[in-house]
Chain A
């Protein structure tokens, strides 16, 4: 536990990549395999579950600290992190505590796993005993394990690099071995270091190659003929793996979602063996795209009911071929991979009724022509264009310059700050989570929660204004008299029965603080409904 906590804090304190890499390397070269397997699971964002409710933890911590619960909540508002708040209010551990001696795996085995099945008094006993043995820094990490929220700011690529260096193997091979998770035991962990190739019939996907946002004019990319243009679909990135007589569907989050998309699994069975497709999971009825909100009813459901299957039919639109006849094609240029993909003869989108479709290439002789195509994106229910260099290999992670997202400009409205709540992490104690509203019949109605988009200095300034204009409090939420106007951008807007205002905006974020505007100048609900009416694709109610 001590070693893992030390790694956690070392990563936390290090901003540079090389420092983080060194921390990971040091940890993995020294850690026993069972501890390392647990750490790897956590570092790569593996699933965790909550062993005890935070309500109980708060009550027990307040009791142990001899303070009322409301005071603990006040502390939480200042600290912005529950695990840290609890660790700070608790009395110091017993002087003879020897916390770190047991490893991470043993701590999880003895103080976290047994909690799930234990009754409340037993839970409390285990938690209080752990508190007596852990120092504040270790408590924070342990609390995060306990509540299933132990996240560390390192990319999977970095973890893979560190492990590859420790193992002395190619980082790409290590990245691939880490794909799809499934490292639960010391044996799994040891296999990562094997010099033998992995299972041929594994259903592991390849690491996804990612695109960067295009922030220059497309002309800066050189001749348009060097590029492949496709729609940027409003779905979920995925890979369909067809190997060893079986099929699997993966999302970019390295989650196996085969159970959520039975029709795609069934359709993939018709592909020749040894195929991996890269593409997009889309909710689509006939030729109408249903949008991401519809798709979210399918993703993350282990059991998909007949009703959901009927309500939200899905298709996989393929845009790359990563493996053919069991051979890894990723080093080949995109043009060649595309030729092989097209040779599979999948029908091109829109192909009503087909579950596996081909994402069409958008032909254009000039950038201006492509820009005109892009301008139609919102009407078509897509997010813009993807530009991929025809000569590009399928890399790992995000390599700037090879693949670009050329998204359409977002929708925008000016909205008024109505409620504010203190943020978390580096924004702890600062009111940085905002609820914004627009006008409707002479009143301001809330339409979005937005977090990002302001500079640190602006957040500090807004925080001060929030405190000065607070007219009421609702728990940690401050109700502010309307004075601040922000320009709000969002990717989509739809009617919603779940939202009081009757509209739901997608990916809202603050673009800038409109110091030049008064609340009276902000937009209205009617403006949002006008945007909805301008959209051709009816979004399903959610």
Chain B
């Protein structure tokens, strides 16, 4: 029997249902796991995503094309393929896509983070990401990361320095705002982050008060603020708005000292919207899938390890990128709205 999903030049394609999952080109019908740019591209005729993710997806793909939605666990039949969406814990509305056809069940994880929100879905074939699929990647709990960020923020305040934390505009930026202690001082967000903050709030997510940066501002704050900005602002003129500042990226890659040093930052916080290595292994096991297809990241290593552990696993060459190492120039393009660079230059 043919596979339920196959790799085509447009992306993962379900022939029976005649739709794509996270296509990287315009197609008639796209099921989108989440609104990061490597998974959600403009130019499709019709989208389907989780109801929770509608507003952020709309931000990403622009107006025009209709977006159909499903509530968590609700199912829909597309040309005889039963489709349902299940939370993946990655960013707002991020879903795993469950496909069922003639007794076969496939699940495409998209990007996922093993947390309270993540829901393991039993399946025969699991398509998993592997961004941090090496055993060096193991995350500390959010409380510990929050405590580190809070302490750094307070130290900077004492020294009169603004704290600038570099994080993806969608997901990580809001995650940080949600875990830090807003009693320490004002939280300020770059325009690209702010846009997604609004989408989060409009979707019912509660976030602490966050200020935007006024247009044509010459100077912002007095060294007390925590600024959340996309990685593309590193080294840009926009940062000068804050005077003396300590700049720290928040990324899973900050685990590795060489990457931290290359970034030239004295601090970096290990914080990711992706699963760490134990998380990936646990999630794969929880699906009870016998066959695992491994996409972007350490796909070859993880597939080999799974094979050694008795599963039928193979790497799958998609064009997803996941969380890119911070010195990868494609980093920001992959994960920021297209106007970020313009916004940086304008000092928005």
Report A's interface with B, CB cutoff 8 A: 12-15, 65, 67-68, 70-72, 74-75, 78-81, 84-85, 88-89, 423-430, 456, 460
* Residues of the A chain whose Cβ atoms lie less than 8 Å from the Cβ of B264: 15
Name which residue of chain A comes closest to B302, CB basis. Answer: A71
Least distance between B233 CB and chain A CB atoms (Å): 17
A72-B135, A75-B136, A79-B258 known; 11 new pairs, CB 8 Å cut-off, are A15-B266, A65-B135, A78-B136, A78-B256, A84-B257, A427-B258, A428-B257, A428-B258, A429-B256, A429-B325, A460-B328
Q: Is the CB of A460 within 8 A of B327?
A: yes
* Residues of the B chain whose Cβ atoms lie less than 8 Å from the Cβ of A460: 327-329
> What is the predominant secondary structure among interface residues of chain B facing chain A?
loop
Name which residue of chain B comes closest to A62, CB basis. Answer: B135
Q: Which residues B240-265 have CB closer than 8 A to chain A?
A: 255-259, 261-262, 264
* Residues of the B chain whose Cβ atoms lie less than 8 Å from the Cβ of A79: 136, 256-258
The distance in angstroms between the C-alpha atoms of A12 and B305, with both chains bound, is: 34
* Residues of the A chain whose Cβ atoms lie less than 8 Å from the Cβ of B329: 460
Neighbour of A426 across the interface among B134, B261, B308, B328, CB < 8 A: B261
Q: How large is the interface on B (under 10, 10 to 19, 20 to 34, 35 or more residues)?
A: 20 to 34
Q: Is the CB of A88 within 8 A of B262?
A: no
* Residues of the A chain whose Cβ atoms lie less than 8 Å from the Cβ of B258: 79-81, 423-429
Q: Known contacts being A426-B262, A429-B256, A460-B327, is A88 close to B136, with CB within 8 Å?
A: yes
Is B298 among interface residues, defined by CB-CB distance under 8 A? yes
Q: Is the CB of B301 within 8 A of A74?
A: yes
Is B195 among interface residues, defined by CB-CB distance under 8 A? no
| CB pairs A–B below 8 angstroms (30 shown) | A13-B266, A14-B266, A15-B266, A67-B135, A71-B301, A71-B305, A74-B301, A75-B135, A78-B134, A78-B256, A79-B257, A79-B258, A81-B257, A84-B257, A88-B135, A88-B138, A89-B135, A425-B261, A426-B258, A426-B261, A428-B256, A428-B258, A428-B259, A428-B262, A429-B259, A430-B262, A430-B327, A456-B262, A460-B328, A460-B329
Q: Known contacts being A88-B255, A428-B258, A460-B329, is A75 close to B134, with CB within 8 Å?
A: yes
Report B's interface with A, CB cutoff 8 A: 134-136, 138, 255-259, 261-262, 264, 266-267, 298, 301, 304-305, 308, 325, 327-329
* Residues of the B chain whose Cβ atoms lie less than 8 Å from the Cβ of A81: 257-258
The distance in angstroms between the C-alpha atoms of A89 and B135, with both chains bound, is: 6
Name which residue of chain B comes closest to A65, CB basis. Answer: B135
The distance in angstroms between the C-alpha atoms of A428 and B258, with both chains bound, is: 5
Least distance between A135 CB and chain B CB atoms (Å): 12
Least distance between B275 CB and chain A CB atoms (Å): 17
The distance in angstroms between the C-alpha atoms of A81 and B328, with both chains bound, is: 20
Name which residue of chain A comes closest to B327, CB basis. Answer: A460
Q: Known contacts being A13-B266, A80-B258, is A68 close to B308, with CB within 8 Å?
A: yes
Q: Known contacts being A13-B267, A89-B135, is A74 close to B256, with CB within 8 Å?
A: no
The distance in angstroms between the C-alpha atoms of A511 and B135, with both chains bound, is: 37
